[in-house]
Structure 1
Amino acid sequence: MQIIPVDDKKSVDAFHELPYTIYKNDSNWVPPLRMMVEHIFDPGKNNSLKNGDAKRWLVEKNGQVVGRISAFVTDTYSYSFEQPTGGIGFFECFDDQDAANLLFDSAIDWLKTKGMEAVDGPINIGENFFNWGVLVDGFMQQSFGMQYNLPYYAKLFQNYGFQTYYEQYSYQLDITSPDLPERFWKIAEWMSKKPGYSFKQFRFAEKEKFIQDFLAIYEQAWVKHDNYKRIDPEDINKMLVESKMMLEEDFIWFVYHEGTPIAFFMMVPDLNQLFKRIPSGKLNLFNLLKMLWLRKRKVITRCRVLVMGVIPKFQKSGIESAIFYHLRKVMLRKSWYNEMELSWVGDFNPKMISIFKAVGGNHEKTHLTLRYMFDPNNEFKRAPIIMD
């Protein structure tokens, strides 16, 4: 076997072509847009790499590419733990432990040169909304941004020595169903009408105001999370501009108490239902027009909850249920959406798990985020439980 760095057009093409070989008989796999993947490795497009570095490799066996991997270091993630921790991601491999081991060895050797003492994977270079975790339960077509792989992938990691840092749960919900818990919705309606509270949908025409409101919520709601990092408002503005075609304004909500922003909720349409119809994964003019046409035909019937945050002072007030109350009215109006995925919530966040269950969510998928300690004498610890 031979390890090959991804550093020219030929190797980049091979990096993107490998999954088509691995999943050629798997109808659940949705090819990602090649452009979106490449943007993740471009410091000019991915701000996480402005103060970081990333490298990719392929492994060849008998002249055929049988695996790929990336490794990366970022200031915002790598130095958020007791020990400097790098990341690996975009791992794809045939069921060949020797090939997987060679990929892991190459990534870890490089991470050691960057001063890392542990590695998490498979994870994304940037936000954990996308490309995060190895799927171990719920082998079905994943929603936009959620990781899909074959069942043997977890074994390749675990046989090498990776351990579960935390489990990630996704829940399915038909928010229009009359069978959802009546008591929950009564409390939600009561909470949504309490004096002093207001609920507003995001509008691009006022995005500068909403960006500032989001940052005010984020600074309080996420500051105690394990890998909290500050966000540049210009990064959010850039993300909104680039994602305008993908977003639904009615799926993004802000909550205010006496005019002060206190909570935020964001959901996105499942674009995988469009990408499935672009088997090449290349976004040329024809495919772009095709996507716009399909979007107008309302072929997207599922949406995915990306993030919800409430500042600590209001985390036990029922705000979360009130958000779902308003969102339910949106879903009833947009009747072509018939499924919502609540994803993902870590096993370290029991409060959010209880909310997803209370609203009527059914546990549908499980991913794992895994960690490998370079020095076996260093103690491995699971992700700490969020208590508040």
Structure 2
Amino acid sequence: MTSADIQIRPVSGKADTKAFIELAYRLNGDDPNWVAPLRAEVAATISPAKNGWFSHAEAQLFLAERGGIVVGRISAHIDRLALEMPADQGFGPGTGFWGMFDAEDAEVATALITRAEQWLADKGMTRALGPVSLSIWEEPGLLTKGHDHSPTVLMGHHPAKYKGWIEALGYAPAKTLVTFEVRIDAPFPPLIQRIVAAGEKNARIKIRKVNKAKFAEEAAIILAILNDAWSDNWGFVPLTQPEIDDVGKKLKPLVFEDLIMIAELDGEPVAFMVTLPDLNEPLKGLKGSLLPFGWAKLLLWLRKPKANTMRVPLMGVVKRLQASRMASQLAFMMIEYIRLAAVADYGATRGEIGWILEDNQGMVAIAQAIESRVNREYVIYQKPIAG
């Protein structure tokens, strides 16, 4: 068969949506390091009714068929908030995206990406970035390093062959994102311990756990710090309240008060750190389904999770304190307090920090100071397209 035998068509209706979701399980199921997401979660991600990201974005899903068999999938999407960002921060006018990408072979990949580019160009876009699935806050980038181990919760995992297929179409790296892994079942270096001890003597500083009984209020505090702290970062798009509401529903079962810290300076919240027990550990054996007994196993785990790995997906310090000694001190204090709880209460031995922009010097310095190392790299690719 040739590329002429490949048909690309928009997803339409329940049967197509099911086929779009199911393809990933067929193409990736034999990879021992791929963790099958829950089908219901994937369905919610691509549903405008269940994903607050669609309040400021639009997407078109496509399927590739060959001989009547689904052999690929892709999304093409435009984020109106991303279009409003300054171009020197990574996005800006004319920037569209593609993601949710899976393909059986290089010919299918070419046909899918070309179709996504055409959809974006028809909408007036002049530049395509991908893969980003779907929001920059969800699963950005293609895994290019770290295929030898499973991802942690809310991180992507992709076949190594995708890199060559994408680059062959003229895509070049726009930005590299990294995650760091660190042993947490032993104390951090003496310098870090001294910094933490000094902070504990400072009456201006208070590090507190979140109060899950005041979930909405705590989420609002974290959102305010996050949108301020990250506002100058490459690829920043402000999180909106509809997104926070949906993410809150999704992640609330994974919120444990001693794993999420808010730092206050003179009574004002100025920093936070979110840590999640690695849900992928119990999910790995469920193969994307809670039936027949997966739901019971997952509920039992969520009541008092034991996890080898903890992931830090988000942390931030308000902009006015960034690049100060106070910022790093607050970060090390939160990291240490969460490390102690993770080991004592959850049996964790390993932490994963990220993703982090490869050139975010402040965060990279913090990760290196606790003797962590890069374990996974994700690349967001870019290419000019005809508008």
Alpha-carbon shift at residue 265 of structure 1 (Å): 0.8
Cα distance in 2 for residues equivalent to 1:261 and 1:360: 28
Alpha-carbon shift at residue 83 of structure 1 (Å): 3.4
Report the counterpart of residue 362 of structure 2 in structure 1.
Answer: 351
* Structure 1 residues 241 and 32: CA distance shift in structure 2, 3 A: closer
Report the counterpart of residue 265 of structure 2 in structure 1.
Answer: 257
Structure 2 counterpart of 1:76, from 43, 65, 81: 81
SS of equivalent to 2:12? coil
Report the counterpart of residue 381 of structure 1 in structure 2.
Answer: none
Q: Which amino acid aligns with 1:336?
A: G
Alpha-carbon shift at residue 166 of structure 1 (Å): 0.8
Alpha-carbon shift at residue 146 of structure 1 (Å): 0.9
CA deviation string 1:76-99 (max 9, x = no partner): 2233234321111110112x2221
Partners of 1:83 and 1:118 within 8 A in 2: no
* Structure 1 residues 192 and 72: CA distance shift in structure 2, 3 A: farther
SS of equivalent to 1:341? strand
SS of equivalent to 2:164? helix
Which structure: greater helix fraction? 2
Partners of 1:220 and 1:311 within 8 A in 2: yes
Alpha-carbon shift at residue 144 of structure 1 (Å): 1.1
Q: Which amino acid aligns with 1:13?
A: K
* Structure 1 residues 325 and 189: CA distance shift in structure 2, 3 A: farther
Partners of 2:29 and 2:36 within 8 A in 1: no
2:302 pairs with 1:292: no
2:336 pairs with 1:331: no
Give TM-score, length-normalised by structure 1: 0.89
Give the unaligned 5+ runs of structure 1: 377-388
Partners of 1:76 and 1:227 within 8 A in 2: no
The answer to which of 357-366 and 319-328 deviates more is: 319-328
Q: What aligned pairs does 1:132-281 form with structure 2 within 5 A after superposition? A: 132-139=140-147, 140-178=149-187, 180-233=188-241, 235-279=243-287, 281=288
Cα distance in 2 for residues equivalent to 1:70 and 1:126: 11
Structure 2 counterpart of 1:115, from 108, 124, 140: 124
Structure 2 counterpart of 1:32, from 37, 41, 44: 37
Cα distance in 2 for residues equivalent to 1:102 and 1:113: 16
SS of equivalent to 2:140? coil
Structure 1 counterpart of 2:310, from 303, 310, 316: 303
CA deviation string 1:276-332 (max 9, x = no partner): 1211x2345743222112445745321111111101232222221121122222123
Report the counterpart of residue 88 of structure 2 in structure 1.
Answer: none
SS of equivalent to 2:254? coil
* Structure 1 residues 111 and 294: CA distance shift in structure 2, 3 A: same
Partners of 1:211 and 1:233 within 8 A in 2: no
Percent of aligned pairs with the same amino acid: 26
Cα distance in 2 for residues equivalent to 1:335 and 1:222: 30
Alpha-carbon shift at residue 165 of structure 1 (Å): 0.6
Any runs of at least 4 consecutive aligned residues in structure 1 with deviations exceeding 6 A, and if so which?
none
SS of equivalent to 1:324? helix
2:135 pairs with 1:126: yes
Report the counterpart of residue 386 of structure 1 in structure 2.
Answer: none
Partners of 1:56 and 1:68 within 8 A in 2: yes
CA deviation string 1:50-109 (max 9, x = no partner): 232111111122333221111111212233234321111110112x22211110111111
Report the counterpart of residue 341 of structure 1 in structure 2.
Answer: 352
Cα distance in 2 for residues equivalent to 1:159 and 1:79: 30
Q: Which amino acid aligns with 1:369?
A: I
Partners of 2:100 and 2:134 within 8 A in 1: no
* Structure 1 residues 228 and 86: CA distance shift in structure 2, 3 A: same
Cα distance in 2 for residues equivalent to 1:215 and 1:356: 23
Cα distance in 2 for residues equivalent to 1:9 and 1:335: 40
Alpha-carbon shift at residue 29 of structure 1 (Å): 0.9
Structure 2 counterpart of 1:370, from 353, 372, 381: 381
Cα distance in 2 for residues equivalent to 1:304 and 1:209: 23
Cα distance in 2 for residues equivalent to 1:351 and 1:292: 38
Structure 2 counterpart of 1:10, from 6, 11, 15: 15
The answer to which of 239-248 and 65-74 deviates more is: 239-248
The answer to which of 291-300 and 328-337 deviates more is: 291-300
The answer to which of 294-303 and 195-204 deviates more is: 294-303
CA deviation string 1:4-57 (max 9, x = no partner): 222122222221222222223211111111111111222221122123211111
SS of equivalent to 1:194? coil
State the Cα RMSD in Å. 2.1
